[in-house]
């Protein structure tokens, strides 16, 4: 899943980045990569960059879809805290069969994103808005939050901070100040003023243009 997630985030996938992300040794990563390559799931180019094969992409998308649907089920149906959904979904996703997946999808009304705003695999890019990080927002402008970058979901403390302060998909924020001297951004949200560090703001996506299909 790490290869899929990094590719989805637009990052080049190399062994060193996988080692850092997974917290394991380089030989462990390469053993796994070579096993996936042998099974036809991963392709390795001349620079040792990694890409998923069509079979690998199909398998990864299936796992990712179950994960995102599980998050939706936990939040929308069971009422689990938004910040806790990612961790809990990891414990459940591998037990969901295709039949159960289809029932969850139907029960939830065929959602297009997870609770954190990240799109279901296979979604037409034209249905997604154009976004940029909150950290790059213009002072005085008002934006709608599209979602949370997927790598940030691994940080439970950060996700709890977002939830506590209302930084969730659909929330409206007005940029009041960008302070380069201490790397913070101050916004108005839900009648409150909140100052957050640039790393936290970098992981919040804001809408800058409606989806292409909506504009057509």
- Is residue 215's pLDDT more than 60? no
Give CA–CA dist 164/80, Å, rounded.
14
Set out the domains of the chain in order of their start, with CATH numbers: 2-52 (1.10.10.10), 56-123 (1.10.10.10), 130-215 (2.30.30.90)
Where do the H-state alpha helices sit in 23-149?
26-38, 54-72, 85-92, 98-107
Burial 99-134 (b: 16+ CB within 10 A, else e): eebeebbeeeeebebbbbbbbbbeeeeeebbebeeb
* Chain position carrying tokens 């805290």: 81
Q: Report the C-alpha dihedral over residues 26, 32, 33, 35, rounded to 10 degrees.
A: 140
> In whole angstroms, what is the distance from residue 208 CA to residue 9 CA?
18
Average pLDDT along the chain: 88
Q: How much is the pLDDT for 27?
A: 81
d(CA 156, CA 102): 29
Q: Please say if the pLDDT value at position 214 is more than 60.
A: no
Is the pLDDT higher at 124 or at 93?
93
123 or 164: which carries more pLDDT confidence? 164
29-85 residue pLDDT tens: 788 888 888 888 888 877 778 888 889 888 888 889 999 999 999 999 999 999 999
pLDDT in tens, 105-149: 999 999 999 999 999 987 777 778 899 999 999 999 999 999 999
User: What pTM, to 2 d.p., does this model score?
Assistant: 0.81
CA diameter of the chain: 56
Does the structure show a pLDDT above 60 at 213? no
| Residue 81: other Cβ atoms inside 10 A | 12
What does residue 152 show for φ and ψ, rounded to 5 degrees? -70, -20
Dihedral, CA of residue 27, residue 32, residue 38 and residue 41, to nearest 10 = -140
């Amino acid at each position: 899943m790490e290869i899929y997630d990094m590719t989805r985030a637009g990052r080049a996938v190399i062994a060193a980045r996988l080692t850092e992300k997974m917290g394991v040794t380089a030989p462990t990563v390469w053993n796994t990569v070579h096993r996936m390559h042998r099974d036809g799931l991963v392709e390795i180019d001349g620079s040792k960059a990694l890409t998923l094969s069509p079979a690998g992409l199909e398998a990864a998308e299936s796992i990712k879809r179950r994960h995102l649907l599980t998050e939706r089920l936990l939040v929308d149906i069971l009422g689990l805290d938004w910040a806790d959904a990612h961790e809990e979904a990891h414990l459940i996703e591998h037990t969901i069969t295709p039949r159960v997946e289809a029932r969850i999808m139907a029960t939830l009304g065929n959602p297009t994103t997870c609770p954190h705003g990240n799109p279901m695999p296979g979604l037409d890019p034209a249905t997604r808005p154009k976004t940029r990080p909150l950290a790059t927002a213009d002072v005085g402008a008002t934006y709608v939050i599209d979602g949370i970058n997927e790598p940030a979901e691994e940080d439970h403390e950060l996700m709890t901070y977002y939830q506590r302060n209302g930084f969730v998909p659909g929330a409206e924020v007005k940029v009041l100040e960008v302070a380069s001297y201490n790397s913070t951004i101050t916004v108005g949200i839900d009648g409150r003023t909140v100052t957050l560090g640039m790393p936290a703001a970098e992981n919040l996506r804001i809408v800058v243009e409606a989806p292409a299909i909506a504009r057509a």
